[in-house]
A and B are shown apart, each in its own frame.
Chain A
Amino acid sequence: MRFLITAASDPEASGTDGPPDDETFTAYMRFNEEMHRAGVLIASEGLNPARKGARVGISKGKRTVLDGPFAESKELVGGFYLIEVPSLEEAVQWALRCPVGLGTADVLTIHPMTEPSDIPPQYLEMIRKAAPTWSEAFRGKRG
């Protein structure tokens, strides 16, 4: 089973948009190394603070830029891990090892990912029709 672990932090606590201190950064890298060596890490990326981003939503039936760049923002997503483990319990145990510490109210969310076996067969034809080049490109570079 694959799980997406996302880290959200409270911007008020972290104070700056600067890079994490050496100790925190090293702890994160050790965590990455540990998951890689344990054979569970599929992918991971860091995200720059959301206050440098923007937010788009539907407002009164119209698509509008709601906000941003932000003076402050709740629910900053700091990055994600994509891991493959046999159970939610194990995903939770890995999340508990994450050295979250960029803010005081860090929250990790563990989402089970949609597996190909979860996709109803009738969607496959729709994918092929609606996204012919995407479904090809996504399968990998062809030789």
Chain B
Amino acid sequence: MADGPAPTKETIEAVWRIESARVIGGLVRVVRDLSLAEDLAQEALLAALERWPQTGVPDNPGAWLTTVAKNRAMDHLRRSRMLERAHSTIQGEAFKSVDSREIESDVDESVGDDLLRLVVIACHPVLSKDARVALTLRLLGGLTTDEIARAFLVTEATIAQRIVRAKRTLTEARVPFDVPRGQDLASRLPSVFEVVYLIFNEGYAATRGEDWMRVELCEDALRLGRIVAALVPDNAEAHGLLALMELHASRANARIGPSGEPILLLDQDRSRWDPRLVHGGLAVLARAESLARPLGPYTLQAAIAACHARARSAGETDWKRIVALYDALVEITQSPLVELNRAIAVGMEFGPAVALELVDGLVDDPALKDYHLLPSVRGDLLYKLGRLDEAGGEFARAAAMTQNAREREFLLGRARACG
């Protein structure tokens, strides 16, 4: 035990954040039931909150938490065996295939596999995106229900219910607990990447609320991205995703003005980009590119972000290369959203008239019907072409469509500037 002042609740929660994924991961392997594993881990956390203020944090807190959880599992096992004859319970079901020796086995054995199992279960395609995000932050990120609720500006009850429902869905779908390998694993990873990137984007371009960014959520996503990249070190896209997030995060300080208003990429003061994240992002991108044949969607997006990172000023941006990277990205994703971004790059290289033609080809796309960036981009191109009346109308339309207060102000400002 570390000598010193008695650990506070904050200290114990910090320990929990470090240990929880491994503790839960190890328990899932043994009890093969996510709900039960998490309940057991929560019981262990409560025990820690009760005992550590008196005893101090033990030398190996992870082992302590695991031992307590395993003891609780043994209690549950005995109880459910007694209950088994009377009536079958979910816990009874879960324990049917488990014997006490397994519970006593070394939970520390295969941490990597335990985390991988946990992440593919939390990101299982049977779950809704919201459920996957909440479960991943809770199980892998070690966030409390309250922290997740605050990050997503919903009530704690909403998140708690979402997690309970997600766990029930996983149980009902009888999701297997084997660690996927090879092709199986490869097919599960896109859902994992998607969840991590969703978390990042919710922090980076908050879709709701007063603030333009929620930095803590970006940091959680970066941490998850690093965990995933370490779990599948030979996967190019895991590194591509991490590079993409680091390069975007490098601009965090430059994309918000003094009164909280958004500043567009090309107007940003590039000396405010975080050199550590630029440097790190470029290095991780190099690793992704060396592993990829051909480049996948995250690596391509990271390569585009890298073009901006390498340009000393907006005027020095290599738009030709960006257009070429977008060509490859459009081919893979077939996404109208990507085509919209490609059109912006085309506009920078070949002028707003060519770009407007491309954007006009997208206005009837149902996927972009409610997307505020479409009128926003159209407005910008019309503005550059001197068609101010039409531009103002597009900015006003975009302002009415966004749900972010800061962005709405910004778009209304642009509308006013048109006339």
- The chain A residues found within 8 Å of chain B, CB to CB, are 36-40, 42, 84, 86-87, 89-90, 92-94, 96, 116-117, 124, 127-128, 135-136, 138-143
Chain B: minimal CB distance from A89 (Å) = 4
Chain A residues with CB under 8 Å of B50's CB are none
Per the bound structure, the CA–CA distance linking A37 and B310 in Å amounts to 29
Chain A residues with CB under 8 Å of B223's CB are 38-40, 84
Partner of B279, one of A37, A128, A138: A138
Chain B: minimal CB distance from A79 (Å) = 19
Per the bound structure, the CA–CA distance linking A77 and B237 in Å amounts to 38
Chain B: minimal CB distance from A136 (Å) = 7
Partner of A140, one of B11, B216, B279: B279
Q: Is B17 an interface residue (CB 8 A)?
A: yes
Chain B residues with CB under 8 Å of A37's CB are 111-112, 115, 227, 230-231
- Tell me if A94 and B18 are in contact (CB < 8 A): yes
**A-B pairs with lowest CB-CB distance, top 7:** A39-B226, A89-B14, A39-B223, A90-B14, A39-B227, A142-B310, A138-B275
Q: Can you name 27 A-B residue pairings with CB atoms under 8 Å?
A: A37-B111, A38-B18, A39-B222, A39-B223, A39-B224, A39-B227, A40-B223, A40-B226, A42-B276, A84-B219, A86-B219, A87-B10, A87-B14, A89-B11, A90-B18, A93-B14, A93-B57, A94-B18, A128-B271, A139-B270, A139-B275, A140-B278, A140-B282, A140-B309, A141-B282, A143-B310, A143-B318
Chain B residues with CB under 8 Å of A94's CB are 18
Per the bound structure, the CA–CA distance linking A89 and B272 in Å amounts to 28
Per the bound structure, the CA–CA distance linking A52 and B64 in Å amounts to 42
Partner of A127, one of B11, B271, B276: B271
Additional pairs, 10, CB under 8 Å, beyond known A84-B223, A116-B272: A84-B219, A86-B17, A89-B8, A90-B17, A139-B270, A139-B275, A139-B278, A140-B278, A140-B282, A140-B310
Chain A: minimal CB distance from B335 (Å) = 26
Interface string of B306-318 (1 = CB under 8 A from A): 1001101000001
Chain A residues with CB under 8 Å of B112's CB are 37
- Tell me if A93 and B11 are in contact (CB < 8 A): yes
Chain A: minimal CB distance from B277 (Å) = 9
Q: Is the interface of B mostly helix, strand, loop or mixed?
A: helix
Chain A: minimal CB distance from B85 (Å) = 44
- Tell me if B2 and A96 are in contact (CB < 8 A): yes
Which of B8, B225, B310: most chain A Cβ within 10 A? B310
Per the bound structure, the CA–CA distance linking A125 and B15 in Å amounts to 41
Q: Is B13 an interface residue (CB 8 A)?
A: yes
Chain B residues with CB under 8 Å of A138's CB are 275, 279
Chain B residues with CB under 8 Å of A127's CB are 271
Per the bound structure, the CA–CA distance linking A117 and B112 in Å amounts to 35
**A135, closest chain B residue (CB):** B271
- Tell me if B18 and A84 are in contact (CB < 8 A): no
Chain A residues with CB under 8 Å of B318's CB are 143
- Tell me if A139 and B273 are in contact (CB < 8 A): yes
Q: Is B84 an interface residue (CB 8 A)?
A: no
Interface string of B251-294 (1 = CB under 8 A from A): 00100000000000000011111111011101000000000000
**A143, closest chain B residue (CB):** B310
**A39, closest chain B residue (CB):** B226
A124-B13 in contact given A117-B253, A140-B310 (Cβ < 8 Å): no
Chain A residues with CB under 8 Å of B306's CB are 143
**A96, closest chain B residue (CB):** B2
- Tell me if A42 and B227 are in contact (CB < 8 A): no
Per the bound structure, the CA–CA distance linking A142 and B270 in Å amounts to 14
- Tell me if A124 and B18 are in contact (CB < 8 A): no
Chain B residues with CB under 8 Å of A87's CB are 10, 14
